[in-house]
């Protein structure tokens, strides 16, 4: 067995799984104003003003990254119980979509459909008492998706985990002239401890009341992920996603093997922060850990990965 491992050229020749720039989606946080703002819990990640986000997307396109995903840090004064800023056609996400489309016309733009960046309670949907109500939330998610599609989003990515939202969004897009817009469903999104830095980045950590276990998946379940994905695919999802990533590679594998659909994973903020934090302290080789972690997604069957390492990886791949 060691003969094939003896030299670099031989290892490359027999390698089963290869990571390329085509596997990368870069999440970008946008904010109001003109200042770049570091996310304290995510070293190397910043909230970007719209103009800088457009420049960043242009850089990503120049590196060959196929798509970026947008997430807003909404001014606390614009958050309310119903998340109504989500339906504003001139909200941060819509502004960023238009600016990025002008700066980088050939890059794919993915927009998140969920209310948590816009609600005063930090949940992904409409809250009645202590309950996140499903059908009323779905109605608002449809409205949010249409606003984003009108702004120029290429892929609508519902991350809310409400039942039936793909089945409501798909016909609404089709009926309003957006039949070309794809849906990347967060089909298996778990109630995870790995989201903390992301919630810092979008500002929902301070506002969240309680937790999200009544609508996000229980980390102990796998068969449930298959049922979730099957429903979303039957309702019109073009792609499915597993979130978080590394702790749920078995779910990536099962979804890909069962459905053969384009399957993605999100290397979430907590995963990124652990690798980057350990690397910054000299505890691990950060570059090797970055590549090894992303290769694990490909080995598990993912067609692509949302990762905050995307630009770093693309630069290193270009450099050979």
Question: What's the mean pLDDT in 216-243?
Answer: 98
Residue 218 predicted with pLDDT over 90 = yes
Confidence grade of residue 68 (pLDDT, cut at 50, 70, 90): very high
Which pLDDT value is given to residue 214? Answer: 95
Which pLDDT value is given to residue 204? Answer: 86
pTM to 2 decimals? Answer: 0.96
Alpha helix positions (H), the chain = 8-14, 50-62, 92-103, 134-151, 165-175, 196-202, 223-234, 249-259, 269-280, 286-300, 310-319
Tell me the helix, strand and coil percentages in the chain, rounded to 5. Answer: 45, 20, 35
Rounded distance, CA 253 to CA 309, Å? 22
Which pLDDT value is given to residue 206? Answer: 74
For 160, the token pair is 């809310």
Which pLDDT value is given to residue 188? Answer: 98
Average pLDDT, the chain: 96
Question: What's the mean pLDDT in 224-237?
Answer: 98
pLDDT (tens digit, 9 = 90+) per residue, 108-141? Answer: 999 999 999 999 999 999 999 989 999 999 999 9
Which pLDDT value is given to residue 208? Answer: 87
| Catalytic residue set | 189, 243
Rounded to the nearest 10°, the torsion over CA 180, 176, 65, 303 is -60
Distance, C-alpha 33 to centroid of its chain: 23
Question: What's the mean pLDDT in 176-194?
Answer: 97
Which pLDDT value is given to residue 205? Answer: 76
Residue 210 predicted with pLDDT over 90 = no
């Amino acid at each position: 067995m060691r003969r094939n491992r003896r030299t670099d050229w031989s290892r490359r020749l027999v390698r089963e799984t290869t990571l390329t720039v085509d596997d990368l989606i870069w999440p970008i946080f946008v904010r109001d104003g003109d200042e770049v703002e570091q996310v304290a819990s995510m070293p190397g990640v910043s909230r970007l003003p719209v103009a800088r986000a457009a420049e960043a997307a242009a850089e990503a396109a120049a590196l060959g990254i196929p798509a970026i995903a947008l997430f807003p840090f909404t001014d606390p004064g614009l958050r309310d119980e119903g998340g109504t800023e989500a339906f504003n056609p001139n909200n941060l996400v819509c502004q960023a979509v238009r600016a990025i489309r002008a700066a980088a016309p050939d890059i794919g733009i993915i927009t998140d459909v969920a209310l948590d960046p816009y609600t005063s309670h930090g949940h992904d949907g409409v809250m009645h008492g202590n309950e996140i109500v499903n059908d009323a939330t779905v109605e608002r998610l449809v409205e949010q998706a249409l606003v984003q599609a009108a702004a120029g989003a290429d892929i609508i990515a519902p991350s809310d985990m409400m039942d039936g939202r793909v089945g409501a969004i798909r016909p609404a897009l089709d009926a309003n002239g957006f039949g070309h817009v794809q849906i990347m469903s967060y089909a298996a999104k778990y109630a995870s401890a790995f989201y903390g830095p992301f919630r810092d980045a979008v500002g929902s950590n301070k506002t969240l009341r309680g937790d999200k276990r009544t609508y996000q998946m229980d980390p102990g379940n796998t068969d449930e992920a298959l049922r979730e994905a099957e429903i979303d695919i039957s309702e019109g999802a073009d792609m499915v996603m597993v979130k978080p990533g590394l702790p749920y590679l078995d779910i990536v594998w099962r979804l890909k093997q069962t459905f053969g659909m384009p399957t993605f994973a999100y290397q979430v903020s907590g995963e990124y922060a652990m690798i980057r934090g350990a690397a910054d302290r000299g505890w691990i080789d950060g570059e090797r850990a970055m590549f090894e972690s992303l290769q694990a997604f490909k080995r598990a069957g993912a067609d692509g990965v949302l990762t905050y390492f995307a630009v770093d990886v693309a630069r290193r791949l270009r450099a050979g």
